[in-house]
Structures are given as structure tokens and as C-alpha cells.
Amino acid sequence: MMSEADARRHRVVTDAVHAHDGAKIAMQILHTGRYSYSPTLVAPSKRRAPINFFSPRALSGTDVERTIGDFVRCAALAEEAGYDGVEVMGSEGYLINQFIAKRTNHRTDEWGGSYENRMRLPVRIVEGIREATHKDFLIVYRLSMLDLVEEGSTWEEIISLAQAIEVAGASIINTGIGWHEARVPTIATSVPRAAFSWVTGKLMGRVSVPLVATNRINTPEVAESVLESGEADMISMARPLLADPDFVNKAAAGTPERINTCIGCNQACLDHVFSMKPASCLVNPRAGQETELNYTQTSTPMSIAVVGAGPAGLACSTTAARRGHQVTLFDAAAVIGGQFNLAKQVPGKEEFYETIRYFSHELSDAGVKLRLSTLATEEMLLSGSFDAVVLATGVRPRALNIRGADHAKVVSYVDVLNRTARVGQRVAVVGAGGIGFDVAEFLLHGADSTPAGTDAPSALPQRVDDFLCEWNIDRQVSNSGGLVKARDAGANGSEHVGSSRKIYLLQRKKGKHGAGLGKTTGWIHRSVLKKGGVQMIGGVSYSHVDDDGLHLKRQTGGVQTLEVDTVVVCAGQTSYAPLETSLQAAGMPTFKIGGAHLASELDAKRAIDQGARLAAQIESAAPERVGELVAALPLQAWLYDKIVLSRQR
């Protein structure tokens, strides 16, 4: 926000919030510093961030003063725009954080050197905002309480800055955890819930302004437990409100079971942001798309059969039913969830239980007729008085097309994750995509600890103390940055203990393993496997499997035999829609979504999005209106070739 014209444009936002009794809104002010993806980026010193290609220019003293003025003017304009306050971003490794830490501040003037000098920038900013705004205008300062990088702040420095910020005029102090360049996960789904609330608790009593706990607090129960423990005065949430904008209303109404829980996947929010795409949410595709994706009540109710209760089928059936259609959902399995039932077995992905729980309530609330343990047939669907059929029948694993593929050593990832396959101590995982990584992590962490045929996860969610230990996080924050020093890691039990298994993760490509994994989470998975001793081998082709093991050919010309007990095939998937041809031949309007539509690079984000979008647009239309209907709707490309089938019988 740089001008009064900008402030006027923001009025539509603040007025909308203030239309609700008691609602307050603050605007975050952030300067990215050396994290900016721009050749003109600036920083305290000329040191390039390890996550950026561009090198910054060091700010001059005049530049620093101008930057302070920019923060203050932005806050004053925010007040003019109707905001009740601002949050000054002083954490996550952005510009203010860069001034505070020795890691990035090598200056010798009044803005560098001693800690008093290094913290001068945030103090001056808060003082300036306090002076330029009304006394009741809220100033939230987001304080980096745990940098998780070398040469970060010490705990004594953090306390000093918090106290100085309070004196300068801050109303609230919010918790920031980790720099973006830190090699420690802080918000991913593998991070235990409320894993960092103890950091906020350490600062309680050292300042008199309210303190806010953050990071992986995604249910009302977790939030209440943090408050009851005395570790914070308030709770901050962001992604959970993308997952369910009615989170607070549902909690207040005493119906937390109806909350669509954030699973911490980052796939549609942060991964999108850092790829210059609009932020949304895997479990709630309407997030950020509210003017495009609308679930309006239908004026022409249809009877719709949805075949397959995986992510795509669940999203489609519940959304269509909410719109007023009569929906029957079939699945041959005894439970809903589809591929989610495999994903939830992977250590660190236990949050998928929450999504299945949510949809189980949604199905009931929306009035979907659920027929589990029922294999839908052509006869059943054609004789059931349905107006349309949606095939969400998913995928089937692609077989390994080499000699010996039928050897007893060869098993599918499905059987491994379902714990119906016996896996030896020496394992080759064929395919290093998302499934291959999941299988490798599953085999590293207690894959044999739960009996086959149970619905329990392969291991309990990781305890906070174990998580801190695994990632060398110093709970006492006795070292700068809050990391246990490498020479002390073993003494503190922080060295990761690898699996007793010897695991090879193989791929045909020569490049980085898991290159297609999430932009913000792929490095975590690679790090976990590396710590666990998994050997990653690329640039191979598969010759054959025999009693000796898996025989490989290297692109460099060499030949290698991996003496393994088990070969787990994670070599992709193929679409499975066996009913499509016969239903279309019979004149039944038939749609395909999720893996049944396209198996390549399938993930739950696309599956749920497709299911919701089809359900939002499917209507009973006469054949002559199909062209008009298609032209009027902002459909994704995958849907254009399918909606023309509507009402052809």
C-alpha cells in the first residue's frame, strides 16, 4: 500500500469485515529483503540467500531510513483504509530478521555490529508506527523466536528485542518459527501439532503484552490445549481457515467434527505462492476461487450415481448433494477414502485420517446415499433411474514390464502400504515419485509394527520431543538460532537412527530424486530418507528379477545386481474406468474425474478439485442447450470434452 488511492481500494475489504459485529482486521507489512525474486533486491549486507538465485545490494544508511519511513507510511495508510491494525513481519528470515541476525548483517555502521544496533531497525519501525497512528491502532510484531539457522538470534537477544518492541509500542507479539532457508520443517504435515508452542511459552512472563502461538495448530482441541497449558495468550491460524472458512463458527457451535481440517500439505497454498500461482487449498478448492467456483442451488435436480469413494468421488458427491441433486455413492470397499487409506499409513501423513473423518460427516449431512461393499455394475447403474453417472474409480498400479516381474520378490506398493505383503530387510523401491518416497518412509518407520488388516496407522504420530530430537532443535535455545551444534548432537541423542532395513530408491532419470514433489516439502522427504540411510540411485533401467535380486543397467554403461529380498513396484499408475464404454454405448451421460480421468501426476489436489468443479456445474440440460451451457461456464479443459455427453439419452 503506497498511496491514498491504494487505501481507498482496500475499503471494500475492511468494510466487509466490519459488517460483522466485533470483527477486526489487520494488514501485514512485509519486506522480503534478500528473499525477493528480483535482480534489484536489497538486504543489510551483500550476502545471497541459499534459496535465491539473485544476489542483493546492501542498503545504504539513507536507504535504511527510507525503508523505515515506508513501513510507517504503509501503516498510516492502512489505518486510513479502515484496518484496525498492522502486523510487522519481523520473522521467517525476511528483511527485518536479516538485520537482526549476525548471519546476514555484516554491517559496521549504526545498523550493524552490536545487538543494540542490529535491533534498531524493528524498534524504529514500531516507534514510528505508534507515533503515526491512533493510540488504539493495533501493532502486532511477528518476532522470530526460533530462527533454526546458524548465526541466528540467541534466547537472550530474543527476550531483549521482545521487551524493546513492547516499549516501542507493540500491542501484541506473534511467534515466528524458522527462516525460509532453514533446513528444519516447521509447518509441513510431518510436523507434530503445536510442535513449537513451547517456544512461545518460554517468553510468557517476560513481556506484558499478549503473546500468540503459531504453527501446526489446526483443530479447536489443539488450540484450547495450548491456551490451557499457559504457553500463550492467543492462537494464530492461517492455513486452517483456507481449509475451512467456517472453522470458528463450527467450533463455537460445538460441532468441531464438521471442520474440514488443514492437513498441512502445502500443495495448493504455499507451493502455489512460491510458484507464482493463486493460493488455494487441497481439501477446499473454493479457497481463493470463491468468485469462480460457486455451489449454487440447482433448479433442475438430477439423480446422480458416483462410483468410487476416493477423494474425487467424495468431493463430487457431497458438493452435488449440497446443491440439491440426489446422489448415490458406490464403492466396492467397506470404507470410504480410496487412496487416502494408503496415504494415511505413511509416517507423517496421519492427518489424512482427518479428511476421511470430515467427508464421513459431510456424506451424512448432505444426504448422500452411501452404498459401500458394493461393486457397481452396468446393469445396476442403467436400471437405477440415474440421470448421469460419474466414474471416480481411480487408478491401478502399473506393472513392471521386465523378465521376472512375476517373481515372489516383486510386490506392489498397495500391498506394502496395506501391510499384506511380506517385506524383507533388503528392499529395492522402483520409482522415485511421490509414491516411491512414501513407501521408502513407510519402510523406514515401523512398517511392521501394526498387524495386517487393521485400520490403525503404521505408527503413532511422532511426539514433539522426538521430532525436536530428530531435527536437532535445541529446546533450551542455548545456541544461537536454536539448533543443537553438530558436535553435541550425539551427546543429546539427536542423531537420527536409521532403519535396520537397507533400502534402495531407484529412478530412470539421472536428475534429483523426487523432483516432482512439493516445492516447499520435497527437501524434507529427501532429508528424511538420507538420514535413514536410503541409497538413491538414478539413471538406471531395469533388466530382470531373479533369485539373486534386481538386475540394473546404468546409463553410464555399467551393470549392477542389487541383492534384495523385495522389489516394491511404484512405477506409476493407469486409469481405471471399465464401465465407461458400456455406459456411453447405452446412452448414459458419463463423466470421469480423478485418476479415472487421468492417472499421470495424479494427486489429491487435482482429484478433489475436479470432483468439486464437476459437481458445481453439472445440470440437467436438453441436448440442444449443451453448447450454450459449455460456452457459459468457466470450465477447466478436462471438462469440456465430457459435459457434451450430458442428457444424450
Give the torsion sign (CA, 29, 33, 38, 39).
positive
Joined together, the cell numbers standing for residue 273 give: 505462492
Do 100 and 114 touch, CB atoms closer than 8 A? no
DSSP state of 43: E
Looking only at the bridges linking them, the beta strands covering 211-213 and 234-235 are: parallel
- Identify the active-site residue in 35, 83, 94, 542: 94
- The neighbour count for residue 266, using CB atoms within 10 Å, is 22
Closest to 383 (Cα-Cα) out of 542, 568, 540, 588: 588
DSSP secondary structure string for all residues of 363-432: HHHHT-EEE-S----HHHHHTTT-SEEEE---EEEPP--SBTTTSTTEEEHHHHHTT-S---SEEEEE--
Backbone Cα Rg of the chain:
27
| 94 counts as catalytic | yes
Closest to 138 (Cα-Cα) out of 147, 149, 128, 130: 130
Closest to 529 (Cα-Cα) out of 565, 561, 499: 499
* Unique residue bearing C-alpha cell 440440460: 621
Q: State how far Cα 326 lies from the chain centre.
A: 33
Q: Would you call 475 exposed, middle or buried from its count of C-beta atoms within 10 A (0-12, 13-18, 19+)?
A: middle
Joined together, the cell numbers standing for residue 437 give: 518416497
Residue type, 419: R
Q: Would you call 395 exposed, middle or buried from its count of C-beta atoms within 10 A (0-12, 13-18, 19+)?
A: buried
Do 244 and 259 touch, CB atoms closer than 8 A? yes
- The neighbour count for residue 566, using CB atoms within 10 Å, is 23
d(CA 44, CA 34): 9
State whether residue 177 is helix, strand or coil: strand
H/E run at residue 552: strand 549-554
With helix as H, strand as E and coil as C, how does 478-506 read?
A: CCHHHECCHHHHCCCCCCCCCCCCEEEEE
- The neighbour count for residue 386, using CB atoms within 10 Å, is 21
Looking only at the bridges linking them, the beta strands covering 211-213 and 172-177 are: parallel
DSSP state of 59: P
Instruction: State phi, psi for 209 to the nearest 5 degrees.
Output: -80, 155
Do 55 and 48 touch, CB atoms closer than 8 A? yes
Contacts with 456 (C-beta within 8 Å, 6 or more apart), sequence order: 450
d(CA 80, CA 8): 8
Do 354 and 216 touch, CB atoms closer than 8 A? no
Question: Across-strand partners of 540?
Answer: 554
Closest to 33 (Cα-Cα) out of 123, 108, 97: 97
State whether residue 116 is helix, strand or coil: helix
Which residues participate in catalysis according to the annotation? Answer: 94
